[in-house]
Amino acid sequence: MMNLDPTRKYFSLARFALGMLIVCPGAVSVNASVSKQKTVSLTNVSYDPTRELYEQYNDLFARYWKSKTGDQVSVQQSHGGSGKQSQAVIQGLEADVVTLALGYDIDAIASAGLTDPGWQKRLPNHSSPYTSTIVFLVRKGNPKHIKDWDDLVRPGVSVITANPKTGGGARWSYLAAWGAIYTKTHSNPEAFKYIKALYKNVPVLDSGARGSTITFVERKIGDVLLSWENEAYLAQDKLGKGEYEIVTPSISILAEPPVTVVDKVAASHGTTAVATEYLRYLYSRPAQELIAKNHYRPRDPKVAAAYKGSFKKIPLFTIDLFGGWTKAQKDHFADGGIFDQVLRSIR
């Protein structure tokens, strides 16, 4: 009798194992039918102030992609100064898409052979689904009476902006300042003189736009922040209503932050189709609404008309004033360029 028990146990174990063998394939097939809807993963390498926009847009796009294909898509974000992000992509950061602050930073990725040199023609509006401009953020009541570009170079006015060598917004700010003076005086030496006086009033050069905003808002340094329009609104909305005022200067620059698929990376990940659609969908009505709500200027004329009240209409010059990004970069921000001369003359 005693030796029957172990046998029984053995049999029951065997039965259990057999049962598992029968059940398991079923379990596997159940799993398979669940995982039939794939999860696609995309990496979007972006510049600093787009954190909130893409957080919301990624949800919107995920819903759209699911309804269209049944697949899940999860988008991982990386944010930082635009120039720094571009360098990281060139050094091997595997971005399926880049959504940077300015065309030159994507040109650099293209010249590294990672994407098509003609990338800017692949999507409408120079591949920039939204635009913005540079405005001033001042403290409540505008105690230093900052109204326009001329006020920034007054002695005793402390200006916060990021380093144009690393930050995209900072480069737009620099060029906005230069252009504002140049369109008035048509003289490059005058503009140079102005830029010199302007950066003399800058106590800290952070590496990206978000760093400057934190310096201005959290560390309470400076009288005026040269800022992306969207970032200025965000700071106003999120970090103390009524504590800041936005001053729109009489003229500024049309900033066109472009987007593109990094062909080589997307091809190696097998994500070209979803990456392309991810960027194309930025031009759709719901995405443009989201863009406008996040204080970026939408491209869609109907959405733009609906949000007309949100954006001040001022004359905007484009990067063409500087002969395009390649020339602007070379003249102003390359090593030994005008910005280096400005810094050297201040120190």
Partner 1 sequence: MSRVPARRKLATEDPIFAKVLLTVAAVIFLGLFLVAPLVAVFQGALANGVTAYLHAIRQPEAIQAIELTLTAAAFAVPLNLIFGLASSWAITKFEFPGKSILIALIELPVAVSPVISGLIFVLMFGTRGVLGPWLVAHNLKVIFAVPGIIMATTFVTFPFIAREVMPTMQSQGTEEEQAALSLGANGWQVFWKVTLPNVRWALIYGVILCNARAMGEFGAVSVVSAHIRGRTNTLPLYVELLYNDYDFVGAFAAASLLTFLALVTLVAKSVAAWWTERSVALY
Q: How far apart are CA 128 and CA 137, in angstroms?
A: 25
CB-nearer residue toward partner 1: 239 or 306:
239
Instruction: Classify each residue of 262-288 as buried b or exposed e, where b means 16 or more C-beta atoms within 10 Å of its C-beta.
Output: bbebbeebebbebbbbbbbbbbeeebb
Q: How far apart are CA 40 and CA 338, in angstroms?
A: 45
Q: Which of 214, 221, 304, 306 binds partner 1 (CB under 8 A)?
A: 214
Strand (E) or helix (H) holding 189? helix 188-200
Say whether residue 184 binds partner 1 (CB under 8 A): no
CB-nearer residue toward partner 1: 80 or 129:
80
Say whether residue 56 binds partner 1 (CB under 8 A): no
Q: End-to-end CA distance of the chain: give it in Å, rounded.
A: 99
| In the complex, least distance from residue 97 CB atom to partner 1, rounded to whole angstroms | 13
Say whether residue 221 binds partner 1 (CB under 8 A): no
| In the complex, least distance from residue 82 CB atom to partner 1, rounded to whole angstroms | 14
Q: How far apart are CA 47 and CA 85, in angstroms?
A: 7
Q: Which of 88, 246, 306, 343 binds partner 1 (CB under 8 A)?
A: 88
Question: What values do phi and psi take at 169, rounded to 5?
Answer: -60, -35
| In the complex, least distance from residue 77 CB atom to partner 1, rounded to whole angstroms | 5
CB-nearer residue toward partner 1: 89 or 153:
89
Label residue 82 exposed, middle or buried (CB < 10 Å: 0-12, 13-18, 19+): buried
Say whether residue 43 binds partner 1 (CB under 8 A): yes
CB-nearer residue toward partner 1: 108 or 197:
108
CB-nearer residue toward partner 1: 187 or 268:
268
| In the complex, least distance from residue 51 CB atom to partner 1, rounded to whole angstroms | 6
Provide the mask over 247-286, with x wherever binding to partner 1 is found by CB under 8 A and - wherever it is not.
----------------------------------------
Give percent helix, percent strand, percent coil of the chain, each to the nearest 5: 55, 15, 30
| In the complex, least distance from residue 152 CB atom to partner 1, rounded to whole angstroms | 25
Say whether residue 238 binds partner 1 (CB under 8 A): yes
| In the complex, least distance from residue 183 CB atom to partner 1, rounded to whole angstroms | 34
222: left (phi over 0), alpha (psi -120 to 50) or beta: left
Say whether residue 108 binds partner 1 (CB under 8 A): no
Residue 235 CB partners (closer than 8 Å, separation 6+): 137, 213, 216, 217, 225, 227, 244
Say whether residue 246 binds partner 1 (CB under 8 A): no
The one-letter code for the residue type at 300 is D
Say whether residue 168 binds partner 1 (CB under 8 A): no
Which residues of this chain interact with partner 1, rule CB under 8 A? Answer: 43, 45, 48, 51-52, 76-80, 88, 90-94, 112, 210-211, 214, 238-239
